[in-house]
Structure 1
Amino acid sequence: MEKSALIESIRKKAEGYFARGEFFCSEAVVHTINELLGWPFPEEVVKMASGFPIGIGRSGCLCGAVSGGTMALGMAYGRKHGEPMNEKMFQMSAGLHDHIKSMYKSTCCRVLVRNYDFNSPERKAHCIKITGEVAAWVAEKLLEDPEIAQKINMGGIG
């Protein structure tokens, strides 16, 4: 599968999980990127992303999709006890933050949804779009990294 088509399929997959109510934003991103990477972590890893929706436990702070994207980047660039920090972890996380902030002028959930009734389909559609954008951005950056890309099945994700 061509890189741009793969990235678009990742966007749609993450959006679909959220749209269908299978996952919230952070969970959808973590699950989708774990799948893209060939399941380096058990499927249950998504449980670690379950506290981040609606701005960290409904507090309205950091966007859950951005939190999930940062967790997903940790799947590729994170470390285990005793290992040195991979400088790419900070660069990529900051890059994700800056990308979303440049697109939406904030990474704060309450700011991102302030123009919507929270229970409206319009707000949900807005959040689904952000979720897809985060998943696509993370996937694109991982595919641009030769060390990571060689481990990814370019045939797509199921």
Structure 2
Amino acid sequence: MCNKEIIEKVRNTAEEYFERGKFFCSEAVIHTINELLGWPLPKEITKLSSAFPIGLGKSGCLCGAVSGGSMALGMVYGRSHGEPMNDKMFPASAALHDHIKNKYKSTCCRVIVKDYEFASPERKKHCVKITGEVAAFIAETILNDDEAAEKINRSV
């Protein structure tokens, strides 16, 4: 698969997980990126992102997909106890924040969905799209980093 195909596959997979109700936004991103990376972490890692949907536990703050995306970046650029911080971690996470803020004018869940009734299918469709956008951005970030791209499961 070429990079463009991988990115679109990741986008579609994350969107499908959310659309079909298998996961919420943050969970869909984490699970999809873990899969993309060939499961470097147990599938149960998705549980760590379960508190983030709907803007941090339904508080409407930071978009759950963005939270999940930042966690997914940690799979590639994160550190273990005693290790120095990877120089790529903060710029990659800031780039995700800036990308979503530029595209949707905010990273705050309640702002991003303010034009939708929460229970509406239109709001869910909008959030599914954002989830796919975050997952695709993470995949593209990884693929554009030669060292990180080696971790990609190209058969996704």
TM-score (norm 2): 0.99
Structure 1 residue 52 corresponds to structure 2 residue 52 = yes
Partner residue, 1:23: 23
Partner residue, 2:123: 123
Structure 1 residue 94 corresponds to structure 2 residue 97 = no
Structure 1 residue 84 corresponds to structure 2 residue 84 = yes
What secondary structure is seen at the aligned counterpart in 2 of 1:99? Answer: helix
Deviations along 1:102-155, one digit per CA (max 9) or x if unpaired, are 000000000000000000000000000000000000000101111111121223
Identity over aligned pairs, percent:
69
Gaps of 5+ in 1: none
Deviation at 1:42, TM superposition (A): 0.1
Deviations along 1:91-110, one digit per CA (max 9) or x if unpaired, are 00000000000000000000
What secondary structure is seen at the aligned counterpart in 2 of 1:87? Answer: coil
Q: Which amino acid aligns with 2:150?
A: Q
Partner residue, 1:71: 71
The Cα RMSD (Å) is 0.6
Gaps of 5+ in 2: none
Deviations along 1:16-49, one digit per CA (max 9) or x if unpaired, are 0000000000000000000001100000000000
Deviations along 1:55-106, one digit per CA (max 9) or x if unpaired, are 0000000000000000000000000110001121100000000000000000
Q: Which amino acid aligns with 2:20?
A: R
TM-score (norm 1): 0.97
Q: Which runs of 4+ in 1 moved over 2 A?
A: none
Partner residue, 2:153: 153
Q: Which amino acid aligns with 1:19?
A: E
What secondary structure is seen at the aligned counterpart in 1 of 2:88? Answer: helix
CA distance in 2, matches of 1:42, 1:154: 19
CA distance in 1, matches of 2:137, 2:90: 15
What is the count of residue pairs matched by the alignment? 156
